[in-house]
Amino acid sequence: MEGDDYTIKKRFFKILIVVLFPILIISSVILIHDYSEYKDSKESNENLVDNVFKDEEDKNTVDWGQLRKVNPSIIAWIKIENTNINYPILQDNSNLYYLNHTYDKKYNSNGSILTLDNNPFKDYETLVYGHNMKNKLMFSTLDKYMNEEFFYSHLDLTIFTPIHNYKGKIFSAYSIGFKEENNNVKSLDFEERIQYYQNASKFKISNESKMEKIVKLSTCSYLNAKTRPTDQRYYIIASLDVLN
């Protein structure tokens, strides 16, 4: 009986090894691939920051001549102090190409920060997208705006464009399904949208000044999500004032 038990256990472990070994190999390949994409995306963006940002009289400026050589689709740059968000913004008119390509047109699941708008930062409102990556790249930081302490301590952002640089002040942060959001705002004019965003925000900011231009940042949210991919989105909205 003991010999039979040993034989059965031996066969069981052999079968287990045969089953688990391919899974281990596949998992390792996926992890290596994901890390390689993360490393490439992070290093590529850091190199771009080093090459195009200039420090003049204690002010950050962008070398747009250099950026246009890199990719004419780079139409702006977004920076939020004390976060990982320091990225070029791509204007994407080619079927969400930059959702899975870097600013230099290399395939990468981290993608880029992008807008589908025809007149970004010229219209009253500009909508900007980015992935919510587990590796903390792109717009992963936006989920932290659901935390009250983080929200109130990270209200300032800067948008650089070839025409103007903008100082942004975040006044709204919330999570909602994107279809529901589209239905909520599609018939609203600019002033009504601002009122909607203020009411929708999880936290309140008292701002009596008149807003003339806003940016709306969007990424996937897993709050109240029942499906993957989720239909939920984080929306972080900031007023924009011209710096120069």
3 state DSSP class of 105? coil
Distance CA 60, CA 62 (A): 7
Q: pTM above 0.85?
A: no
Please state which of the ranges 13-22, 171-180, 232-241 shows the lowest mean pLDDT.
13-22
Distance CA 78, CA 74 (A): 11
Region 71-81 average pLDDT = 93
pLDDT at 11: 64
Token representation of residue 98: 């930059």
pLDDT beyond 70 at 51: yes
pLDDT in tens, 168-216: 999 999 999 999 999 999 999 999 999 999 999 999 887 667 899 999 9
Top-confidence residue, 112 or 223: 112
Distance CA 160, CA 87 (A): 10
- Phi first, then psi: give them for residue 196, nearest 5 degrees: -60, -45
Domains of the chain: 65-242 (2.40.260.10)
pLDDT beyond 90 at 19: no
The end-to-end CA distance of the chain, in Å, is: 87
